[in-house]
Amino acid sequence: MCLGLLLTCALFTACQKKEEIKVYRVSKAEPETSVSESPSARGMPPAAATIESGNQMTRGMPPAASSMVAGLPPPPTSQVTGTPPSNWESQPLSSMRQLSYVVKGQNGALADISLVILAGSAGGVLDNVNRWLSQLGQPGITEGQLAKMTRHQQSSLGDVTIVDLEGLPQGADAAKDGRIVAGIAFADNRTFFFKMRGNALLTESQKEPFVRWIGTIRMDAPASAPGPTAAPAANQDNPPIKWDVPGEWKPVAPSSMRYASFAVAGQDGESADISASVFAGNGGGDLENVNRWRAQIALEAIADADLKALIIPVACKDGQIFTVDMNGPKSRILAGWARVAGKSWFFKLIAPTQLADREKAAFVKFLQSVQFHP
């Protein structure tokens, strides 16, 4: 009996061990960094390593995969440009950072500046501000408190919400921490995070240059971006699609992430912004997207359970587009999306309420005319 128990314990322990997550600390000055490791030999068993002829290291790896080892695509190249102040020094970019700078003050004071772009809603303004506050060791705030501490800056990305937060987290170096000035913009189904974090006095002195820098940010349109045609032709990056554009809508040059843009004028200089965008994959969850759009027109987020009631399907020429119609205090968003052949299409109209009311019928007609596979 004891033996049985012993064997069972041993077998169970061995099975559990295979899935056990290990945590350990290693010195940054790892010994192996002294000599570069040949990627071709990395991790091969000796049976392969001992073979002296032929490229055994890439056996079993298809040609394309083999080439990936040596010729990986570089991290996404930045299509964002801006004009930083002359005293900011560029830093190496990471896969997250599209732009990265550091500014140095006196007595070792530092501030780190970055632009990070995330797909989808990325949590909205309040959640992110509370996240930054927690980084500074400060308690979170409410929507009402947030409204009092934000300012707005116009840029090519649209409205940028700017916050200035103070606090020194426990154990932090005051020369390098103590304040965050940050900006958030939502454009083309992406969230742009501008952030400067560092020494409180240095950050204060760099606040206005930081805000001016945000104003200089431009998204460079890629060469293959479609032109402002009413019925865009297929190109290398995007699949073919056809639609009928209402007569009053004027084509506008699309940004790098818009497939096509249109504008229609209303009264008193008002205008409606209509866009069509396409993304690989599912383009974020429906709830995330809807709540991001709601945040853009100052509506509170909804729960998943309430989403279904909000969605109205509209039949287009060769499929179905799911739509939502959301009316905020001042403006209204009509949006539609469809997932076709591994890509997600988004259609959106945002305008002051009266103008959106007027254009709703045209927008629905536009959606009905969409043909994903012409």
Residues in 76-115 that interact with other proteins by CB under 8 A: 76, 94-96
38 binds other proteins (CB under 8 A): yes
Per CB under 8 A, the list member of 5, 50, 247, 329 interacting with other proteins is 50
Cβ nearer to other proteins, comparing 77 with 86: 77
CA 324, CA 315: separation in Å to the nearest integer?
14
CA 279, CA 277: separation in Å to the nearest integer?
7
Q: Closest distance between other proteins and the C-beta of residue 332, in Å?
A: 25
- Block residue for tokens 């004028």: 265
Q: For residue 164, give both structure tokens.
A: 């200035």
Per CB under 8 A, the list member of 110, 222, 223, 341 interacting with other proteins is 341
CA 196, CA 212: separation in Å to the nearest integer?
13
CA 115, CA 195: separation in Å to the nearest integer?
6
CA 317, CA 334: separation in Å to the nearest integer?
19
222 binds other proteins (CB under 8 A): no
Per CB under 8 A, the list member of 107, 139, 152, 280 interacting with other proteins is 280
Cβ nearer to other proteins, comparing 130 with 206: 130
For residues 283-302, which are near other proteins according to CB under 8 A? none
128 binds other proteins (CB under 8 A): yes
Per CB under 8 A, the list member of 7, 147, 174, 312 interacting with other proteins is 7
For residues 129-158, which are near other proteins according to CB under 8 A? 130-131, 134-135
Cβ nearer to other proteins, comparing 2 with 86: 2
Which residue stretch of 62-70, 207-215, 249-257, 264-272 sits at the interface with other proteins (rule: CB under 8 A)? 62-70
Per CB under 8 A, the list member of 5, 30, 268, 305 interacting with other proteins is 30
CA 8, CA 11: separation in Å to the nearest integer?
5
Q: Closest distance between other proteins and the C-beta of residue 240, in Å?
A: 10
Q: Closest distance between other proteins and the C-beta of residue 13, in Å?
A: 8
CA 311, CA 189: separation in Å to the nearest integer?
18
CA 362, CA 334: separation in Å to the nearest integer?
11
75 binds other proteins (CB under 8 A): yes
**Cβ 189 vs Cβ 257: under 8 Å:** yes
31 binds other proteins (CB under 8 A): yes
CA distances from 124 to 20, 24, 84, 110, 161 (A): 36, 35, 26, 28, 11
What is the torsional sign of CA 163, 261, 270, 310? negative
Per CB under 8 A, the list member of 207, 242, 343, 365 interacting with other proteins is 343
For residues 148-207, which are near other proteins according to CB under 8 A? 169, 191
Q: Closest distance between other proteins and the C-beta of residue 178, in Å?
A: 13
- Block residue for tokens 């309430």: 306
Nearest to 162 by CA among 195, 118, 123, 130: 195
For residues 300-339, which are near other proteins according to CB under 8 A? none
Amino acid at 81: T
Nearest to 229 by CA among 242, 218, 220: 242
Cβ nearer to other proteins, comparing 29 with 309: 29
Beta bridge partners of 250: 263
5 binds other proteins (CB under 8 A): no
34 binds other proteins (CB under 8 A): yes
Per CB under 8 A, the list member of 98, 109, 123, 258 interacting with other proteins is 123
